Amino acid sequence: MMASGGALTTSEYIVHHLTNLTVGHGFWTFHLDTLIVSGLLGLLAFVGMAKLAARATSGVPGKLQATVEMVLSFVDQQVKDTYHGKSPLVTPMAITIFVWIFLMNAMDLIPVDFLPLLLGFAGVHYFKAVPTTDPNLTFAAALTVFVVMMVMNVKVKGVGGFLHEVFTVPFGAKLAPLNLLFRIIEDIAKPISLSLRLFGNMYAGEMVFILIALMGLWQLPLALPWALFHILIITLQAFVFMMLTIVYLSMASESHG
């Protein structure tokens, strides 16, 4: 069922579902749907986990506690296997990234017409429910990782050690300009690839759901298999973003002498 009525053409229907709820103009345009959904999911996840931790028992855990403990143990093991430095920040950051991105990705499993139809009664005509299909959010997350990475570079190696690495690796001090050029390209590529990988996969998945919804009643044989397969995609994308973050922070903590 189409949320905006049968008068919409196919292209109008697609554009409608891919248009953000915005406020402001030009550079200062805010995507309210991205901010609202990501903020609410963050509060739901981490306030809920904090309350669960306060009520945790050392005996036989309930299903929810067991699930959360399994996720935390899994992420903690990935950090131990990948990050060999000493920082109390890495594991909490990895847990935050994995859980938050997974929940934002999981919004893609809500039928594409459900929220637009529901919010349409309140006069809200555009609303993208999946924050990770918005490049503004994925770039913001990647830039946050990049800033932490640069701070860790300086903190672990010192200003002198960091500059020495920038100008001498990998070709030695005699080729300092070339080393600097390669380092700039490498560091710029990290947040760009990190953000575009998540955005591209989630945007493509959302587009498939929209195209399936256009089939009307014929969507039923396709929607469920794609949703089940998409559970793997949303989990994998959260895992990849988390693992690359750990790898980047591990690289920032290692010295090349």
Among the listed residues 87, 201, 250, 253, the single catalytic one is 201
Please say if 201 is a catalytic residue.
Answer: yes
Please choose, from the candidates 130, 91, 123, the residue with its C-alpha nearest in 3D space to the C-alpha of residue 230: 130
Please choose, from the candidates 101, 133, 141, the residue with its C-alpha nearest in 3D space to the C-alpha of residue 17: 133
Among the listed residues 4, 136, 197, 255, the single catalytic one is 197
Please say if 73 is a catalytic residue.
Answer: no
Cis peptide before 170 (omega within 30 of 0): yes
First to last CA, the chain: 62
Collect contacts of 152-155 with beta carbons under 8 A, ≥24 apart. Answer: 152/87, 152/249, 152/252, 152/253, 153/252
Please say if 193 is a catalytic residue.
Answer: yes
Contact between 34 and 131 under an 8 Å Cβ cutoff? The reply is yes
Which residues are marked as active site?
A: 193, 197, 201
